[in-house]
Structure 1
Amino acid sequence: MNKQITYTGMIWLLAAQLVVMLPFLFDLPLWLLPVLVVVAWWRLRVLAGAASQPGNVVKLLLIGLGVGGLLLSGLRFPSLDAMATLLLLGFAFKSLEVVQRRDAIVVIFIGYFLVALHFLYTQSLTAALYGMVSMVVLTGALVGVQQAITEFSTGQSVRFNLRLAVFMLLQCLPLMMVIFVFAPRIAPLWSIPLASGQTQTGMTDRMAPGDIEKLGKSDELAFRVTFKGKRPAQHELYWQGLVLNHFDGHEWRQFDRDYDVYQLKTALMSHYRWQPERMQVQGNPVAYEAVYETSGQPWLFTLSPAVEVEGDVLRGADYRVMAQEALQAPFLLKAVSYPATQRDVVLPEYLRTLALGLPSTGDQRSRELAQRLRREAGSEQVYIDKVLARFHDLAFEYTLNPPTLGDKDTIDGFLFDSKRGFCAHYAGSFVFLMRAAGIPARVVVGYQGGEWNAAGQYLAVHQYDAHAWTEVWLAGRGWVRVDPTTAVAPSRVEQGLEAAVQAEGSFLADSVLSARKMPWLNGVRQQFDAVQYGWRRWVLGYDREEQAALLKSALGDLSVGKVALFAGGLFAAIGLFWLLALGMAQRRQPEAPEHRLYRRFCEALAKRGARREPGDAPGAFAHQAAEHLPALAEVIREFTQVYEGICYAPPADGRVATRRLKTLLGKIR
């Protein structure tokens, strides 16, 4: 038989809705919150008798307004944002027609689904902790909407519901862990397109003056790296992402036309594919694991060249490593790099053509400078040294706030006029001068360095570590890394960006409240980041390979029968745990304060010779006890009246009545 929801139950339901919807407001339209507030206000007025239940016309009007707001929000259809917003609208509007308890249960079950849905937006540790809080509140609401109004006072009800919700969820914890460990790690059967540009962060596939310095002003995390052996020196940490070959006079791109991800994947599997035979592996290996943050882009960053790679990746002729799809979740990569390896000692003709391309016109002063210095140099290495010496000797300045250079003759404007720039200015102009002198060269973008976290023993690479450098091709040596920024600001590579721009005070100038700029918070920040990395590595990074390795270490040689037997034993243990937990819970039924005080009241009277029989009602027992103990008759009658009042006609503030019971009990003892 369905029963109407109580006022207290409705409060629980609306509180649960608010808790579930709050985290979505960081990604979805903010007007969803006022919608929930208005709906909650209206529903409470209905319960209080101050308003009427909305009719069908009003409901249709609200639905129309909600859909109209959704269309005006500019969300792409179909997309995760649009679908989630529509579901949240229904979640909020549903409370308007909640009358029976079963209606409230439907709303709560939708809330459980929304808690899971939010993990499509973020899978951080803080999101997981908030999800646990949401589950507790939803389960507390599930208990609350089925609770009789006279069962507890308000404060007791909140404590009891939350305590029971936590107990119920803790019972699920062993089963959750077994499913997490043993459930097959399979790819999703379908995908929902995300909103355009929703998670596009970090390095892009093009570079113009001013682009990378924008990243240099952000302390957002890019990826974390754990080394399996000795950590390389700071100046050796060049994390290559993309190679930019084409220059149109203003910006550098990968190729002479834009490729979407599908076309780029096709190129990397055909004419621009990785050919390991073009490497002469030498030097010491560097083994590491990298966990990349969600970026909405497929670029991965490795020490080049990454000779051995574990993961679902693509590799290119320029020694890049790229994910199969844009990163919409943290991505784990295991790699072994040999930085001293010679690459492309014999340069393929199509790569030579890419590495020599320049616009037919423009930047004439730079072309003439290159030709003059090349004639004076005699050899390619001497020419390279001359260009670097020019950066060093002519008072060029490294800055996060370079002047604008316009859209034409940007190389001339930097080399001869402003002489103030960030790494992109130096890398772009250096490659231009190399190509103008007939030396194959290319721009490489990625990250340089990183912050060592002693608490977690890993390297954290942030967006402000974004960097651009160059590679030149020399006969007999192949591609050689040259970083022209070191000629102007060697501290950038040795100590990081903060040291390089310390004099101008521009490091994270727009992030005044960044913990990175507060030394007294650094220890706490690093400890918290270490915990976050553990979550990323061991929970979100638990894939098929990790699962197989864990099961093999626990069970030895794997077989279907052995895994099934082990999993069956764990399920049996969980069942036994549940039986014991339920038995202990049954033995420890909560006792309301008034009942506990009445029990003690009866025990105190029994010591004085007035014993209550199991079938005696409180009023009848009070009459008998008063006759037996006339000196306490008034106290006995008042105690019984207050107790019966709490049980059958709960007062507005039960705490006052409970305190009165304690006072009267003290007079009997």
Structure 2
Amino acid sequence: MTKHITYTGMIWLLAAQVVVILPFLFDLPIWLLPVLLFAAGWRLRVLSGAALQPGNITKTLLVGLGVGGLLLSGLKFPSLDAMATLLLLGFAFKSLEVVQRRDAIVVIFIGYFLVALHFLYSQSLGAALYGMVSMVILTGALVGVQQAISEFSAGQNVRFNLRLAVFMLLQCLPLMIVIFVFAPRFAPLWSLPLATTQAKTGIADRMAPGDIEKLAKSGDLAFRVAFKGKRPAQHDLYWQGLVLNHFNGHEWRQFARDYDVYQLKTALLSHYRWNPKSVQVQGTAVPYEAIYESSGQPWLFTLAPTVEVEGAVLRGADYRVMAQQELQAPFLLKAVSYPDAQRDSVLPEYLRTLALGLPPTGDARSRTLAQQLWRETGNPQAYIDKVLARFSEQAFAYTLNPPTLGERDTIDAFLFDSQRGFCAHYAGSFVFLMRAAGIPARVVVGYQGGEWNDAGQYLAVHQYDAHAWAEVWLAGRGWVRIDPTTAVAPSRTEQGLEAAVQAEGTFLADAVFSPRKIAWLNGISQQLDTVQYGWRRWVVGYDRAEQAALLKNMLGTFSIERVALLVAGLFAAIGLFWLLVLGLTQRPPKEALEHRLYRRFCEALAKHGVQRDVGVAPSTFAAHAAQQLPALAGVIREFTQVYEGICYAPTADGQNATRRLKALLAKVK
């Protein structure tokens, strides 16, 4: 039997390659798909005799062009994107030299590896389902490249291969579940940096006029939260991310200089370290767990103030919580918040200095206004009330489309000229007025509110929930949250952004088919999101702690011996189950059509008085039958010749050959 790949086998291989490479095109250069189609198309032309096999010079030139394209794509080396693109190039170009079945099998095995590789880009339920489809197609291709010329039609071959592939993968499912549940959850032994060009989503580490309102026009999911007890009121759902202390006249920033994530970790561990003694726990605890989407940034948004946190995270003196590296995959956090806790009743001097800093010049009208209001009030609380009253009594408006304020004196331009802004405008100007009067204050950015999912009993926080507010330090009370946006648009914190900008109709204005705009579509969207949350929580979020809790519930007292016995018992049960299933359901192999026709041919000759003995070769029996039945001699010899041709020298014309056998058999009967 020939070991060369057939034309049909090459079609299977091309289909498998296309299915595997498609999901990578969302993250990697899209020109990889034309490269694959070109390589596979050339191979198909070679198999059909329309083109010559590419030589070594041609292969070298094509590989050089592919590597050149990789270098021109702007991918950073080393990075996951660069390594994945290089592997996909090899996966595509391998089609040029697929001659024998072993070459095709190598390509298919690379495809299996690429299916696993794609989970580094997405761990969503959709990606998992697509991965399962890819596995079925690859396994079907593995069956297809092993097949010689078949009696089945093309449609029958496709159904047979796919059915066999599904059955083979289903046999692996119980074993896969056991390994997933019981295999130790080790940290990766090595890591490859992700490309710095990958999009960073969500709130940035600085805030200028116009930044947050751009983010608030997106309906993308930021994170989901499930509460262990009673859900807090909507107006109390402030999810703190970053504290911005430095103002340069145009934008608010975390620190005076830029830090990358590693320098920021060092700063938090040295100068801005979390001090548990700085918070006085009081009031009712709010335990919750949050699952954050991949954002390319390390910020974790927690219910302010979060006092207790489980997991390997970083915490700062400003009550922020950070992951130890950028989020390139969903991240599970378990925490406890105390909304009534008192923070920093004694304010450290370095925090006071940060909370009072202003540029030496600029925004003169705002500075003058602060001095005037302070003279009229004389104490911090009265001054705060006076500033908030100014926002509510004058012609200030809350809008997603504020006018531009320029690069200088932006506080003056907002407070005295435009008076139209988003939360960032109100929070930034409020903190400026506080500091100008000598009251420690800072800008906090994060999210406010969220959409409650009744089906899943969790809160979904989207990018349009992005928000900025202020914190002021008051003697005897510590840090106090003040949201100046509520003085202008109280519906923002009570009912969400959609209600706050309903009059101007700008909520998700660019998202024509957003589920939030279509009632029945929103219901379906919530149901689907519930399924996705379950996947994130119980599959992607299955870590060491979850595994330890599950094993403790199953075994009572945890021990390696008990786990080993349980796993060995499950393996034995799976093996016994499949032995029984295969033994009870396995059918005898189906008799090939040509053999069935030959058996009927022999039975027809027996009716004419010529009996074939067991073990007699078809050619020997044909010579004997032709001698005994001279009237049928030509038919007997032709039938035997066609039959032996199908058995020992199959060709692409197998279906015509079996039809010829049927016609000759009719003449014998």
TM-score, reference length from structure 2: 0.91
Partner in structure 1 of residue 285 of structure 2: 285
Deviation of the 1:115 alpha carbon? 0.7
Letter of the 1:202 counterpart? G
Partner in structure 2 of residue 422 of structure 1: 422
Deviation of the 1:572 alpha carbon? 1.3
Deviation of the 1:518 alpha carbon? 2.1
Deviation of the 1:35 alpha carbon? 0.7
Deviation of the 1:616 alpha carbon? 9.8
Partner in structure 1 of residue 14 of structure 2: 14
- Report the 3-state secondary structure (helix = DSSP H, G, I; strand = E; otherwise coil) of the residue aligned with 2:461: strand
Letter of the 2:65 counterpart? L
Partner in structure 1 of residue 194 of structure 2: 194
Letter of the 1:87 counterpart? L
Given that 1:645 and 1:651 are in contact with CA atoms closer than 8 Å, whether structure 2 keeps it comes out as no
> Against the structure 1 CA distance between its residues 530 and 599, is the aligned structure 2 distance closer, same or farther, given a 3 Å change threshold?
farther
Letter of the 2:185 counterpart? R
Letter of the 1:428 counterpart? G
Letter of the 1:299 counterpart? W
> Which string of whole-angstrom CA distances, capped at 9 and with x for unpartnered residues, describes residues 188-226 of structure 1?
111111111304110111000011111101011100000
Letter of the 1:207 counterpart? M
After TM superposition, list the pairs within 5 Å mapping 1:177-326 onto structure 2: 177-326=177-326
Given that 1:297 and 1:326 are in contact with CA atoms closer than 8 Å, whether structure 2 keeps it comes out as yes
Identity %: 80
Given that 2:151 and 2:654 are in contact with CA atoms closer than 8 Å, whether structure 1 keeps it comes out as no
- Give the unaligned 5+ runs of structure 1: 628-637
Tell me how far apart the structure 2 counterparts of residues 546 and 540 of structure 1 sit (CA, whole Å): 11
Tell me how far apart the structure 2 counterparts of residues 501 and 611 of structure 1 sit (CA, whole Å): 93
Given that 1:208 and 1:252 are in contact with CA atoms closer than 8 Å, whether structure 2 keeps it comes out as yes
After TM superposition, list the pairs within 5 Å mapping 1:366-405 onto structure 2: 366-405=366-405
Point out the more displaced range, 545-554 or 30-39: 30-39
Tell me how far apart the structure 2 counterparts of residues 217 and 656 of structure 1 sit (CA, whole Å): 66
> Which string of whole-angstrom CA distances, capped at 9 and with x for unpartnered residues, describes residues 56-111 of structure 1?
11011101110111111111111111111111111111111111111111111111
Given that 1:217 and 1:509 are in contact with CA atoms closer than 8 Å, whether structure 2 keeps it comes out as yes
Tell me how far apart the structure 2 counterparts of residues 505 and 605 of structure 1 sit (CA, whole Å): 87
Letter of the 2:112 counterpart? Y
Tell me how far apart the structure 2 counterparts of residues 490 and 639 of structure 1 sit (CA, whole Å): 91
Deviation of the 1:9 alpha carbon? 0.8
Does 2:152 align with 1:152?
A: yes
Tell me how far apart the structure 2 counterparts of residues 593 and 447 of structure 1 sit (CA, whole Å): 69
Does 2:99 align with 1:99?
A: yes
Deviation of the 1:661 alpha carbon? 8.0
- Report the 3-state secondary structure (helix = DSSP H, G, I; strand = E; otherwise coil) of the residue aligned with 2:202: coil
> Against the structure 1 CA distance between its residues 230 and 589, is the aligned structure 2 distance closer, same or farther, given a 3 Å change threshold?
farther
- Report the 3-state secondary structure (helix = DSSP H, G, I; strand = E; otherwise coil) of the residue aligned with 1:587: coil
Partner in structure 2 of residue 436 of structure 1: 436
- Report the 3-state secondary structure (helix = DSSP H, G, I; strand = E; otherwise coil) of the residue aligned with 2:452: strand
After TM superposition, list the pairs within 5 Å mapping 1:26-37 onto structure 2: 26-37=26-37
Letter of the 1:517 counterpart? K
Partner in structure 2 of residue 634 of structure 1: none
- Report the 3-state secondary structure (helix = DSSP H, G, I; strand = E; otherwise coil) of the residue aligned with 1:407: coil
Letter of the 2:303 counterpart? L
Partner in structure 2 of residue 174 of structure 1: 174
Does 2:53 align with 1:84?
A: no
> Which string of whole-angstrom CA distances, capped at 9 and with x for unpartnered residues, describes residues 3-41 of structure 1?
111111111111111111111111111111111111111
Given that 2:149 and 2:651 are in contact with CA atoms closer than 8 Å, whether structure 1 keeps it comes out as no
Partner in structure 2 of residue 630 of structure 1: none
Tell me how far apart the structure 2 counterparts of residues 338 and 655 of structure 1 sit (CA, whole Å): 80
> Which string of whole-angstrom CA distances, capped at 9 and with x for unpartnered residues, describes residues 104-153 of structure 1?
11111111111111111111111111111111111111111111113533
Partner in structure 1 of residue 452 of structure 2: 452
Deviation of the 1:516 alpha carbon? 2.7
Partner in structure 1 of residue 498 of structure 2: 498
Point out the more displaced range, 501-510 or 513-522: 513-522
Given that 1:305 and 1:341 are in contact with CA atoms closer than 8 Å, whether structure 2 keeps it comes out as yes
Tell me how far apart the structure 2 counterparts of residues 94 and 528 of structure 1 sit (CA, whole Å): 39
Partner in structure 1 of residue 635 of structure 2: none
Tell me how far apart the structure 2 counterparts of residues 598 and 511 of structure 1 sit (CA, whole Å): 67
Partner in structure 1 of residue 74 of structure 2: 74
Given that 2:151 and 2:655 are in contact with CA atoms closer than 8 Å, whether structure 1 keeps it comes out as no
Tell me how far apart the structure 2 counterparts of residues 606 and 173 of structure 1 sit (CA, whole Å): 51
Given that 2:370 and 2:437 are in contact with CA atoms closer than 8 Å, whether structure 1 keeps it comes out as yes
- Report the 3-state secondary structure (helix = DSSP H, G, I; strand = E; otherwise coil) of the residue aligned with 1:269: helix
Point out the more displaced range, 574-583 or 344-353: 574-583
Does 2:495 align with 1:507?
A: no
Tell me how far apart the structure 2 counterparts of residues 230 and 192 of structure 1 sit (CA, whole Å): 42
Does 2:133 align with 1:165?
A: no
> Which string of whole-angstrom CA distances, capped at 9 and with x for unpartnered residues, describes residues 305-340 of structure 1?
212111110111011111111111100000110001
Deviation of the 1:657 alpha carbon? 8.3
Partner in structure 2 of residue 362 of structure 1: 362
Tell me how far apart the structure 2 counterparts of residues 535 and 25 of structure 1 sit (CA, whole Å): 24
Tell me how far apart the structure 2 counterparts of residues 453 and 239 of structure 1 sit (CA, whole Å): 18
- Report the 3-state secondary structure (helix = DSSP H, G, I; strand = E; otherwise coil) of the residue aligned with 2:270: coil
Letter of the 2:203 counterpart? M
Given that 1:284 and 1:340 are in contact with CA atoms closer than 8 Å, whether structure 2 keeps it comes out as yes
Given that 1:363 and 1:410 are in contact with CA atoms closer than 8 Å, whether structure 2 keeps it comes out as yes
Letter of the 1:507 counterpart? F
Given that 2:642 and 2:657 are in contact with CA atoms closer than 8 Å, whether structure 1 keeps it comes out as no
Letter of the 1:548 counterpart? A
Tell me how far apart the structure 1 counterparts of residues 236 and 605 of structure 2 sit (CA, whole Å): 84
Deviation of the 1:611 alpha carbon? 12
Tell me how far apart the structure 2 counterparts of residues 323 and 572 of structure 1 sit (CA, whole Å): 41
> Against the structure 1 CA distance between its residues 153 and 351, is the aligned structure 2 distance closer, same or farther, given a 3 Å change threshold?
same
After TM superposition, list the pairs within 5 Å mapping 1:579-590 onto structure 2: 579-584=579-584, 586-587=586-587, 589=589
Partner in structure 2 of residue 44 of structure 1: 44
Given that 1:646 and 1:654 are in contact with CA atoms closer than 8 Å, whether structure 2 keeps it comes out as no
> Against the structure 1 CA distance between its residues 169 and 605, is the aligned structure 2 distance closer, same or farther, given a 3 Å change threshold?
farther
Tell me how far apart the structure 1 counterparts of residues 127 and 656 of structure 2 sit (CA, whole Å): 37
